[in-house]
Amino acid sequence: MKSKAAICHGAGTDWKVEEIDIDPPKVGEVLVQWKYAGMCHSDEHFLTGDLQLTADQLAAIGQDSFYPVLGGHEGAGIVLEVGPGVTTVQLGDHVSASFVPSCGRCKFCSTGRQNLCDNGAGTLTKGMITDGTSRHNLAGQPIAVMAGLGTFSQYAVVSENSLIKVDKDLPLNVVALVSCGVATGWGSATKRADVQPGDTVVVIGIGGIGINAVQGAKMAGAKHVIAIDPIEFKREKAMEFGATHTYASMAEAMAPVTDLTWGQMAEKVIMTPGIMYGDLVEGANQLCQKGGTIVITAVAPVQQEEVSLNLFNFAMSNKELKGTIFGSLNPRADIPKLLGLYRDGLLKLDELITREYSLDEINLGYQHMRDGVNIRGVIKY
């Protein structure tokens, strides 16, 4: 079948809406009609080149080129067709994308760490994670598919390991957000940082992930939730989602956090800037108290290898520095859990969506993200 899709052809370009050909699903695969796609910052890194692999890295995964790439990894839609052997979804089911697949059988899935599923290694290649061959073609050539999902195409063939069945009465626009940004931010606070009642929590960067780290910290019982972002609109939004204090920079926050905590500083610091650079880490270290935890959630350039960190202060203060993907949550359990919290009025999701766009407006939507006028934009098909 044919589908309109947003394709990135290389760093420094815009998204180009083109027609692609999609082959039928094979064993363990599902044809999905995406109804909504979230415009997450992670897809922007294809345009900036931050996710561009070196020749050696490409060779390691058996590819000679990275582009073109079909974008989109946040999404919600309806199952149109199932391939042989599919057991977890059927025709007509409503599904959430899961940018980290979960096979349920590898070491990590079987020990409750689905966010580290071994299937994830194949989600940026030109082949399906099921068998390594392609279902998505542009001008007769196979293309890479973001996270194996390709939600920037109205139709896509996806491994059933990357889909979570959801209740049909849930709005699909908010289901799309839970598939990445909401879960990643919320889990960064509640799971990876392990925010406790009474904690002081600093969240650095208030985009689609950071705003949900704020929301998660508040729900976990944090006494002070301090949101840091240079854009006033985002700081104002953070207050609506549970922030108690906001500042434009880490430097500006340093003295107030010192006063607020009687010199102890924050138990937890969660880093969710639009792009993570190593020179940001020392600022988080200074905001973090003895025995505290720093969680790095944001995507860094693939080649970023240097970090600014006062190792004496870090080690002698008994601190922790943690990475996380998907907020260290388990998609098959936690996506339905978060949607249940939304249904019960405990988790704000509708309020996250600043604007809806058509697929043809994708470049406008990402420009709005860069300009800081969106918390989260979504594509409606």
Note down pLDDT in tens along the chain; length 381 residues.
999 999 999 888 999 999 999 999 999 999 999 999 999 988 888 888 777 777 777 777 677 777 899 999 999 999 999 999 999 999 999 999 999 999 999 999 999 999 999 998 888 778 899 999 999 999 999 999 999 999 999 999 999 999 999 999 999 999 999 999 999 999 999 999 999 999 999 999 999 999 999 999 999 999 999 999 999 999 999 999 999 999 999 999 999 999 999 999 999 999 999 889 999 999 999 999 999 999 999 988 888 889 999 999 999 999 999 999 999 999 999 999 999 999 999 999 999 999 999 999 999 999 999 999 989 999 999
Residues 94 and 189 in one domain: no
Cα(101)–Cα(117) distance, integer angstroms: 6
User: Residue 96 falls within a domain, yes or no?
Assistant: yes
CATH code, 101: 3.90.180.10
Please check whether residues 39 and 140 belong to one and the same domain: yes
Q: How many domains does the chain have?
A: 2
Same domain membership, residue 191 and residue 174: no
Buried b (16+ CB within 10 A) or exposed e, 78-88: bbebbbeebeb
Q: Does residue 286 sit in the same domain as residue 173?
A: no
Q: Is residue 79 within a helix (H) or strand (E), and if so which, with residue range?
A: strand 74-82
Assess if residue 342 is contained within a domain.
no
Residues 150 and 250 in one domain: no
Question: Percent of the chain beyond pLDDT 90?
Answer: 86
What is the spatial distance between Cα 367 and Cα 122, in angstroms, rounded to a whole number?
29
Q: What is the mean pLDDT of the chain?
A: 94
**Do 201 and 169 share a structural domain?**
no
Domain range spanning residue 212? 185-323
* 336, part of any domain: no
Q: Which residue has the tokens 């430097």?
A: 251
* 20 and 50 both lie in a single domain: yes
* Coil/strand/helix, residue 175: helix
pTM for the predicted model, two decimal places: 0.93
Same domain, 319 and 189: yes
pLDDT at 123: 81
Q: Same structural domain for residues 73 and 94? A: yes
Sequence-separated (6 or more) residues with CB below 8 Å from residue 363: 14, 15
User: Could you give the CA distance from residue 40 to residue 179 in angstroms, rounded to a whole number?
Assistant: 11
Helices (H), the chain: 41-48, 55-60, 107-110, 172-178, 181-187, 210-219, 232-240, 250-260, 281-287, 311-316, 331-343, 362-371
Whole-angstrom distance, CA of residue 207 vs CA of residue 63? 32
CA Rg value for the chain? 20
Whether residues 319 and 354 share a domain: the answer is no
Q: Confirm whether 27 is domain-assigned.
A: yes
Q: How does pLDDT run across 84-127, given as a tens digit for each residue?
A: 999 999 999 999 999 999 999 999 999 999 999 999 888 877 88
Tokens of 300: 């860094």
Domain CATH number, residue 297: 3.40.50.720
Tally of CB atoms within 10 A around 187: 27
Residues 6+ apart with CB under 8 A from 286: 250, 254, 265
For residue 97, being part of any structural domain is answered with yes
Contact 4, 49 (CB under 8 A): no
Say whether both 305 and 371 belong to one domain. Answer: no
Q: Are residues 54 and 126 in the same domain?
A: yes
pLDDT at 61: 67
